[in-house]
Structure 1
Amino acid sequence: MEQVGHKKWGFQGNQELNASSISVRGVLNQLMANRNKDDERSTIPLGRADPTMFPSYQTTSSAADAVADAVQSFKFNSYPPTVGVADARSMEQLGHKKWGFQGNQELNASSISVRGVLNQLMANRNKDDERSTIPLGRADPTMFPSYQTTSSAADAVADAVQSFKFNSYPPTVGVADARRAVAEHLSKDLPYQLSADDVYLTVGCTQAIEIVVSVLACPGANILLPRPGYPQYEARVGCSNLEARHFDLLPEKGWEVDIDSVEALVDENTVAMVIINPSNPCGNVFTYQHLKKIAETARKLGIFVISDEVYGHLAFGSNPFVPMGVFGSIVPVLTLGSLSKRWIVPGWRLGWIVTTDPNGIFKESGFVESLRSYLDITSDPPTVLQGALTRILEKTEEDFYSKILNILREDANLLYERIKEIPCLTCPHKPEGSMAVMVKLNLSLLEGVTDDLDFCMKLAKEESVIVLPGITVGLKNWLRISFAIEHSSLEDALGRIKAFYFRHAKNK
């Protein structure tokens, strides 16, 4: 590996994780690696309670058909409710003495999540309002006919289920063919070739965030997060031994990273910085030149880049999507992604962590070893979805991608133009990607509205429109508005917000 000028890399894997995690998977992997390769007899697995490889232990066709029917119904592609789908939950209450346990109150007090805030807003609606509720608070458009996934993806999952080949536990790092498919899919946009060994499959991008933060959680370490940003990072860092430090995104510069603030925040304990591109919550897409500048800055500072690309390729403005991995030879890049957004299936929960690092720095630092150790003790994405992944990545029609981009572009344009008709709202940068945008709230024009959360609570109650308060993503007195809904519903929602403004506008 050729060394280019930079300070010594300031990150490594969590060594305590490697030393302390003795798991069934970890031990079985050691035993499998210790086999005699010259022994021609088949290996007999008595170490794990997973008999699915044997013909006598196959599930019933009715179960496989139930999953296939659910996938092909297109009714279950959304995020589920926080506590689970209602029909799938039931519990009988029995008499008992007083239980001697309680929840972690610190967790309740400190976790400001998108879901938690949206649940508060939904609970604040006027039950007597007969109009439909319009959800502009969450980037999950699966309830709308214009935003349905492609039939080829649903068929791939149904065929994987009904093949009976993917009912077992998957390998720790993911099914080999699925990892290879992700590597080939991402390599199309890179100047070098990824291998299956660079890919680790996860339960959506949310678990990818949890895993990466946990692996980096060494005592005293800190990580740089964007403001505004995605609150899942803040929540996971808060539950780990990491300190969060925030660099600004600049609305007057199209939400570019404030490089000066990054340099001011870094010390010898800084391990990484997070970028989200295309941006949630801002709706911008970073240029090639800006991403290169981020890479050069991170290299100079000795930190690596975590590039959240869950909205990868959902770019419909003047800036094309450029993956951060393009600059992997300058700085090690950890790429996070998933099927959720581009394929409009957030409920399928299949994502990936990819080491886009041609110089092998993640391996040298011990990060990869710690990552594998953590995967040994965490949950896996459903094997059946992994079994369908190759077909989904290779066979999705270009027409589907184009259709979704055209719909998003039309909805983004509508939002940007109609916001101009609402005096208390300002959109500093026209959305060019993802499914949401940040809008500034001018409270001086409103009577009886104290802040962004109060605005959103009153809007939910009076107009049955759900918008996410900016404080949730790190910017007080801003709003994050998702425009990925049916065009007619977006028009209706913006009309209701306009009416809300005139009802609360201060008299001049």
Structure 2
Amino acid sequence: MEGDGTTGWHISRPSARGAPLADAGSMSIRAVLGRVFSSVDASGPRPVLTLGSGDPTACASFRPPPEAEDAIVDALRSGKHNGYSPTIGVLSARRAIAEYLSRDLPYQLSRDDIYLTSGCCQAIDVMISILAQPGSNILLPKPGFPLYESRTMFSNLEDRHFNLIPDRGWEADLESVEALADENTVAMVIVNPSNPCGSVYSHDHLAKIAETARKLGIIIIADEVYDHLAFGNKPFIPMGIFADIVPVITVGSISKRWLVPGWRLGWIAMCDLNGILKEAKVDKLIESYINITNDPATFIQGAVPQIIANTKEDYFMKILNLLRNSADLCYGKIKETRGITCPHKPEGSMFVMAKLDLSCLDGIQDDLDFCCRLAKEESVIVLPGSALGMKDWIRITFAMDMPTLENALERIKSFCQRHAKLEA
């Protein structure tokens, strides 16, 4: 590194080599929401209502089960979980997660199929990093979770985007998947239940995805961080049930179903009935990469078996009912608001995508402009769709208490009425 004549410190200025990190960081949801938040009038009389992030814990209605909190206390007080953990995870936690995931599968995962990570984000980091070979590419959904784009950019792995079709419940456009894939394609990512779309895939559609991936000779990375958060007509079905057709890497965490995103406990599960991933030594690559990264906190790992075993089903049903009611409210209010349309009622996760009709809104340039003006005038935060690859759309989070959500949606409606173009 060259010395800086101004400061005297040997710190290099940003270069082409550092550009991917700067560019990747600017694409994150946190970075985009930071730009929107900067538009808020801090001196305004009304509280800021945040419908932009995927963290429901700010709402008192979305608390973790007491059994999970008790499990953490027990793990801490046991004195057994104060040291370093094995890099791939504590044995009892890996076994418990294998059993948990196997409940929904026609076969049994073993502890050796499970690798623990610091949240689902690290699981994504691991998989993108080990797949990033020179010249390779990966197929990502559009719209999708932007961490995938950030990680591929930083790892110099080419991303190619296949469309999700709004009018078909945000199903994957499998014709575009086939058109995008080539001999250098290493994997296809699906997110189900969907962030950001709020969709839940049917058994038939998942089967078609599996058959398409087999035809192309690529693996599937199934992001199931919102597993079982399905409250519509379609149940959650894990991609791993098709592991006899195509190798599936499932990434997930306890963050969303147990409402503890800050606990940072995630996993990678290899669903590899035909041994294709093991033959390609993907398991060894995962373990090697995890050996040079951080582990989840040991006491969280130690608590996992008790968290899974002791949480009562009525807790999960309560959360699903809260999400179903708030999704109904959100969808209904959007339908009442001129200038915004929602092509598909959310059936899962905590989000809905809504399209802006800028022809109805006077002086609004694009989705970022809409969100920044909404923040300034109404103290309401929503995420611009351009952060998710969908220009002139917005993502709304509905995981909050009903009065607050209704207040926020009424403010959005007032904003759109105030900026409505006069009809000729």
TM-score above 0.5: yes
Q: Secondary structure at the match of 2:57?
A: coil
Contact 2:20 2:153 (C-alpha < 8 Å) held by counterparts: no
Distance 1:253 1:396 in 2: 35
State the 1:105 CA deviation.
4.8
Map of 2:9 onto structure 1: 99
Map of 2:257 onto structure 1: 342
Map of 1:467 onto structure 2: 382
Which aligned pairs between 1:411-490 and structure 2 lie closer than 5 A? Answer: 411-490=326-405
Distance 2:316 2:122 in 1: 25
Contact 2:48 2:381 (C-alpha < 8 Å) held by counterparts: yes
Alignment of 1:307 with 2:217, yes or no, is no
State the 1:164 CA deviation.
1.2
State the 1:362 CA deviation.
0.7
State the 1:99 CA deviation.
2.8
Larger Rg: 1
Q: Deviations over 1:393-423 (max 9, x none)?
A: 1111111100000000000000001111111
Q: Deviations over 1:322-348 (max 9, x none)?
A: 000000111000000001100000111
Map of 2:412 onto structure 1: 497
Alignment of 1:113 with 2:11, yes or no, is no
Alignment of 1:357 with 2:267, yes or no, is no
State the 1:108 CA deviation.
2.5
Q: Secondary structure at the match of 1:334?
A: strand
Map of 2:126 onto structure 1: 211
Q: Secondary structure at the match of 2:190?
A: strand
Aligned structure 1 segments of 4 or more residues deviating by more than 2 angstroms: 96-100, 102-111
Q: Deviations over 1:52-71 (max 9, x none)?
A: xxxxxxxxxxxxxxxxxxxx
Map of 1:70 onto structure 2: none
State the 1:244 CA deviation.
0.2
Distance 1:130 1:399 in 2: 39
Q: Secondary structure at the match of 1:146?
A: coil
Distance 2:362 2:156 in 1: 43
Map of 1:76 onto structure 2: none
Alignment of 1:163 with 2:81, yes or no, is no
Distance 1:494 1:100 in 2: 51
Contact 2:188 2:221 (C-alpha < 8 Å) held by counterparts: yes
Alignment of 1:260 with 2:175, yes or no, is yes
Map of 2:89 onto structure 1: 174
Q: Deviations over 1:459-495 (max 9, x none)?
A: 0000000000000011000000000011100000011
Which aligned pairs between 1:17-416 and structure 2 lie closer than 5 A? Answer: 97-101=7-11, 102=13, 104-110=18-24, 111-416=26-331
Contact 2:338 2:417 (C-alpha < 8 Å) held by counterparts: no
The amino acid that maps onto 2:373 is K
CA distance change for structure 1 residues 105 and 246 in 2, over 3 Å: closer, same or farther? closer
Q: Secondary structure at the match of 2:58?
A: coil
Q: Secondary structure at the match of 2:251?
A: strand
Q: Deviations over 1:73-100 (max 9, x none)?
A: xxxxxxxxxxxxxxxxxxxxxxx95433
Distance 1:288 1:475 in 2: 26
Q: Deviations over 1:295-325 (max 9, x none)?
A: 0110011001000000000000001000000
Distance 1:226 1:357 in 2: 23
The amino acid that maps onto 2:22 is N
TM-score, normalised relative to structure 2: 0.96
The amino acid that maps onto 2:47 is S
Q: Secondary structure at the match of 1:147?
A: coil
Distance 2:392 2:401 in 1: 27
Distance 1:383 1:361 in 2: 31
CA distance change for structure 1 residues 109 and 370 in 2, over 3 Å: closer, same or farther? closer
State the 1:390 CA deviation.
0.4
Q: Secondary structure at the match of 2:262?
A: helix
State the 1:507 CA deviation.
1.4
Distance 1:147 1:208 in 2: 25
State the 1:106 CA deviation.
4.7
State the 1:109 CA deviation.
3.7
Q: Secondary structure at the match of 1:145?
A: coil
Q: Which moved more, 1:106-115 or 1:495-504?
A: 106-115
Map of 1:63 onto structure 2: none
Number of equivalenced pairs: 413
The amino acid that maps onto 2:9 is W
Distance 1:241 1:469 in 2: 26
Q: Deviations over 1:249-305 (max 9, x none)?
A: 000100000010000011100010000000000000000000011001100110010
Q: Deviations over 1:166-213 (max 9, x none)?
A: 111111110000000000000000000000000000000000000000
The amino acid that maps onto 1:108 is A
The amino acid that maps onto 2:33 is L
The amino acid that maps onto 1:248 is N
